[in-house]
Amino acid sequence: MTRKHIVVIGGTAAGPKAASRAKRLDPEAEVTLLQKAPELSMASCGYPYFVAGSVADRSALLATPAGVVRDPAFFAGAKGIAALVGTEATAIDRQAKTVSWQRPATGETGHLPYDKLILATGSVPKVPPIPGRELAGVATLSSLADADGLRALAGTHKGGKAVIVGGGLIGMETCEALVAAGLDVTVVEALPGILMGFLDPELALLVENHAKSKGAAILTGVGIAAILGTDGKVTGVRLADGRELPCSLVVLSIGVAPNVALAKAAGLELGPTGAVATDAHMRTSDPDIYAVGDCVEVKNRLTGRPMLAPFGDLANLEGRVAGENAVLGDTATFPGSIGSGICKVFDFAAAATGLSERRAREAGFDVVTAVNAGPDRPGFMGAKPLVSKLIAEATTGRILGFACVGPGNVNRQAAEMAMAILGDLTIDDVATADLPYAPPYSLAVDHAIATAHVLQNKLRGLMRGASSLAVKERLDAGETPFLLDVRGPKEFEEMRLGLGETLIPLGQLRKRLGDLPADKSAPIVAYCKVSMRGYEAQRVLEAHGYDNVTVLEGGLAAWPFGLEK
């Protein structure tokens, strides 16, 4: 039997997974992995924590759970894979079915034959044509070499000022890293808010406020016009509005683009996103070439449209599928992505899965939403707060998206809702979900289920709610709803909106209806800390004939615009 020759280009995440899966399923196959960098299987999502110093040992980013570094000797011995580091694939000859390579350090060149080829060329950082981008002190964070360089720069610039261009996932993780390393950090984001590709504004604002409370400065709605320097070194940045910020370090973190140069030169089809087009088997337009990881586009499982999903977990899943298909035929499939992600921003986690409200509407869905705030477990077990937003299809109740932020167990909530989306579950399904419960881990009614209850009440007409953004827009437009705070006096003294609200504790509400507007159709906005009592107040008032009562969803815990105390 002729041995199969499998060549894999790219050695970060998807490539090693594909190579390992292929060799495991066909031990007789000859599997060769080409990696341009000197390292293999880098935990790239750990780079910000290496820069911060919380990951002290660089080799930990390259090691197995048992602590063994994944170097060429490891791949040869444990996997039976020839991993060639410092080796760049330079061309693909699809007719001859060969890959040309070179070793820049030595000048060596060569060719490798393949029966099946797997591209895992990853992504490249987006570097806009900003004047001054070539100055010393300008960095990106997309490779281990970048992480080495930024960690060194953070050490030499400790106590100085840094500007991060871009407030996305990596930008905010880098912000935390540089603050931890002792720098004075400003994040500059051209969009109206941070994490805008990830979260809707009402939750993104909460994360922004938290980052500011940890010492970071954040400027939104303004771009960078130029990076300033003297004698070849960074001295500051000029914003698009003319302001100048002094700094000695600039990190460009405005996202990544699929690295498709090799695929494009080989004539492989690119999709509408600009990434390599693949089918469900991760097969490209050439039946003998597969592509995986950040260089490909995948199907959005909710919209059916192509999307970019440059996440390490998906890279591994795609690599597993391609590796299997390369040796066994096209039996395995990758169905696409719903866009799940999570990041750490100081003491907050921010997670999202499925579609945000904005993206759901852009995709043509008629949506309903609910914001809910509450603890992740009972107070007697050290509860930490969570604020979540749930998005569902109005006509069917099918869950389309979910996001959660806060210092509590965000990951659990997002994971629960990701599986609900993948299972095409509705609000009613989640509202009665049977989840594991014990006080150290969750409330008796888990936060995710409680969020479904809020939206269920809205869909059934039992609750009329409005997000913090909607209420703020009404106030800014000059509307003057009666703001009804139904907390206790002590809570009111400790923290309040300070917008002319009236305090009537819930227990006194039935006796103090005379303190409300005489016109029972006058707009009233009821709330408490998390608006559980606000909802109770709405039900009480509606029972007494008030027909224009709205609940501030999430209460004061979800109010991102500042409080009087």
The H helix count followed by the E strand count for the chain is 15, 30
Question: Do 323 and 280 belong together in one domain?
Answer: yes
415 within a domain of the structure (yes/no): yes
pLDDT, residue 359, reads: 96
Question: What is the pLDDT averaged over residues 73-83?
Answer: 96
Query: How far, in Å, CA of 223 to CA of 241, rounded?
Result: 8
**Residue 390 reports pLDDT greater than 90:** yes
Evaluate whether 402 touches 353 at the Cβ level (below 8 Å): yes
Q: Is 447 found in the same domain as 484?
A: no
Q: How far apart are CA 169 and CA 194, in angstroms?
A: 9
**C-alpha closest to that of 288 among 121, 119, 115, 120:** 115
- Examine the residue annotation and report whether 528 is marked as an active-site residue of this protein: no
- Crossing angle, helix 468-476 and helix 201-213, to 10 degrees? 90
CATH number for the domain including 106?
Answer: 3.50.50.60
Average pLDDT for 80-96: 97
Question: Is residue 507 located within the same domain as residue 523?
Answer: yes
Q: Is the pTM of this model over 0.85?
A: yes
The SS3 assignment for 76 reads helix
**For strand 138-139 and strand 108-113, is the pairing parallel, antiparallel, or unpaired?**
unpaired
Burial track 8-35 (b if 16+ CB lie within 10 A, e otherwise)? bbbbbbbbbbbbbbbbbebeebbbbbbb
Q: What is the CATH number of the domain that holds 396?
A: 3.30.390.30
**Does residue 153 fall inside a structural domain?**
yes
Give mean pLDDT, residues 193-197: 93
Domain boundary at 416, 434, 459, which?
A: 459
Confidence of residue 550 (pLDDT cuts 50, 70, 90): very high
Q: Which residues make beta-bridge pairs with 337?
A: 300
What gap in Å lies between CA 146 and CA 500, rounded to an integer? 51
Q: What is the pLDDT of residue 197?
A: 86
Cα–Cα dist 519/481, whole Å: 12
> 550 and 524 in contact (C-beta within 8 Å)?
yes
Q: Give residue 180's pLDDT.
A: 94
Structure tokens at 372: 């809910």
Do the strands 465-466 and 549-552 form a parallel or antiparallel pair, or are they unpaired? parallel
Contact 323, 21 (CB under 8 A): yes
Same domain (yes/no): 174, 198? yes
Same domain flag for 145 and 250: yes
Question: Count of domains in the chain?
Answer: 4
378's tokens: 């009972």
Residue 126 sits at φ, ψ, to 5 deg, of -75, 120
Which domain range does residue 403 map to? Answer: 347-459
Question: Where residue 182 falls among pLDDT bands split at 50, 70, 90?
Answer: very high
Is residue 333 situated within a structural domain? no
Burial (CB < 10 A; 0-12, 13-18, 19+), residue 350, is buried
Phi-psi region of 145 (alpha: psi -120 to 50; beta: other; left: phi over 0): alpha
Q: What is the CATH number of the domain that holds 552?
A: 3.40.250.10
Do the Cβ atoms of 270 and 286 come closer than 8 Å?
A: no
Does some domain include residue 340?
Answer: no
Closest CA to 308 of 376, 258, 365: 258
Q: Say what the pLDDT of residue 280 is.
A: 97
Looking at the structure, do residues 149 and 238 belong to the same domain, yes or no? yes
Judge if 523 and 550 occupy the same domain. Answer: yes
**If pLDDT is split at 50, 70 and 90, which confidence band does 1 have?**
low
Q: Of 430, 443, 530, 427, which Cα lies nearest the Cα of 487? A: 530
- Regarding whether 247 and 224 lie in a shared domain, the answer is yes
What is the pLDDT at residue 562? 87
Would you say residue 80 lies in a domain? yes
Task: Note the maximum CA span of the chain.
Answer: 91
Query: What's the rounded mean pLDDT across residues 294-299?
Result: 97
431 pLDDT above the threshold of 60:
yes
Q: Which two tokens stand for residue 563?
A: 């409080």
Mean pLDDT of the chain: 96
Cβ proximity of 114 and 98 under 8 Å: yes
What's the CA gap between 226 and 129, in Å, rounded? Answer: 9
CB atoms within 10 A of CB 547: 11
Comparing CA positions, the residue from 485, 560, 562 lying closest to residue 525 is 485
Catalytic residue among 45, 175, 404, 528: 45
In 353-399, which ranges are continuous DSSP H helix?
Answer: 357-362
Model confidence pLDDT, tens digit, residues 223-263:
999 999 999 999 999 999 999 999 999 999 999 999 999 99
In a domain, 334, yes or no: no
Alpha-helical regions (H) of 356-404: 357-362
Could you say which of 254, 273, 303 is where a domain stops? 254
Domain assignment present for residue 281? The answer is yes
Dump pLDDT digits (tens) for 106-161.
999 999 999 999 999 999 999 989 999 999 999 999 999 999 999 999 999 889 99
Question: What is the C-alpha radius of gyration for the chain, rounded to an integer number of angstroms?
Answer: 27
Same domain, 537 and 483: yes
* Helix or strand run (H / E) with residue 151: helix 144-156
Residues 196 and 244 in one domain: yes
131: in domain:
no
Residues 110 and 192 in one domain: no
Q: Decide which of 276, 295, 328 is a domain's last residue.
A: 328
If asked whether residues 90 and 198 sit together in one domain, one would say no
